[in-house]
Structure 1
Amino acid sequence: MFIYLKHGDNKQFLVNTNCPLILLLEHIKAKVGLSKTELVDLCDESGALKLLFLSQQPLEYARLQLTPRCSFTVCSVYRSRTDGAYVSISPLLANPDPALLETLQTQTDSLEKARLRQLRSLEKCRCQVKGRGRTVHLDTAQEKPLRKRGGRRRRRS
């Protein structure tokens, strides 16, 4: 099947969704004139992002995530180079609707909050890992486990 992609000043083109997500995103970048390193995503007419750039399975077919014969807007995802924070998500349109911009900003804030939550949970896991019934503390500088000494003693027979 196919979808319509809107960008620029009232421009649109058709895209076949019977291909892996990674190829679809590369084709969109080439068609719109973005570099291969930039992140792009699609949003529907209500502004809901499809989050294709976060897919855990980039070889999955795009037709499974995109409704056929619908129109989507190409959006550029901006992240901080230092810590990977989500800065903004902007539609690649000449005159975007203010409601669309507000919806995308709300989703950017939600993505950033989720990223921060995930970082905090990873930090907790690094500080304390449970293994074999004993608590293992990790030294964050060396990433080597420091085990507690003691525990059960063996009986001699």
Structure 2
Amino acid sequence: MFIYIKHADNEQFLVNTDCPIILLLQYLRTKLGLAETELLDLCDERGTLKLLFLAHQPQESASRLLPVRASFLVCSVNRDSKDGAYVSITPHVTNPDPALIENLKTQMDHLEKARLKKLSSQEDRVSNVARSAQPVSTPSPNPGPLPEHVAISL
């Protein structure tokens, strides 16, 4: 099982997808001379991202997510180093089609909205936990002395 990776100025190479996602991405970094810290993904020629960098199970086989003999472009996913915001998605091709760039920008906007929604949800959970952890006043187990007019018979 293999896919075509297009890059630079109409160059391409084959990649075997019968490997974990993490190894596929590592191979692409090495093959293209990119830094270990570069966050990569693949997109089809229309610009639809495969979101490999978000895989919950990076040891899952890439062949399960990538159709055989399909062509993909390598993209760098650029995030802000301070807050992790999605800044841009850059395809590694010379003179990318404007429609491709627009589609990647739209997907980046969706990723950022999802990130902010998840962040807001996590903050809400933390504040709810903090509120529920505050001490609640409960009545004293000893109500005090009985009034004098109450008679106790034995």
**TM-score, length of structure 2 as denominator length:** 0.87
Distance 1:25 1:128, change over 3 A: same
Q: Which runs of 4+ in 1 moved over 4 A?
A: none
Rg comparison, structure with higher value: 2
The alignment-based identity, stated in percent, is 57
Distance 1:151 1:114, change over 3 A: farther
Deviation (angstroms), 1:9? 1.1
Q: Secondary structure at the match of 1:41?
A: strand
Q: Secondary structure at the match of 2:131?
A: strand
Q: Secondary structure at the match of 2:134?
A: strand
Q: In structure 2, what is the equivalent of residue 4 of structure 1?
A: 4
| Residues in 2 aligned to 1:108 and 1:149: alpha-carbon distance in whole angstroms | 48
The structure whose RCO (Cα within 8 Å, separation 6+) is larger is 2
Q: Please list the CA deviations of residues 81-114 of structure 1 after superposition, one character each: whole Å capped at 9, or x if unmatched.
A: 0000000001000110000000000000000000
Does the alignment pair 1:43 with 2:43? yes
RMSD: 1.7
**TM-score, length of structure 1 as denominator length:** 0.86
**Unaligned stretches of 5+ in structure 1?**
130-135, 139-144
- Select the structure that is richer in strand: 1
Deviation (angstroms), 1:146? 2.6
| Residues in 2 aligned to 1:121 and 1:152: alpha-carbon distance in whole angstroms | 37
Q: In structure 2, what is the equivalent of residue 146 of structure 1?
A: 134
Q: Secondary structure at the match of 1:147?
A: coil
**Unaligned stretches of 5+ in structure 2?**
142-154
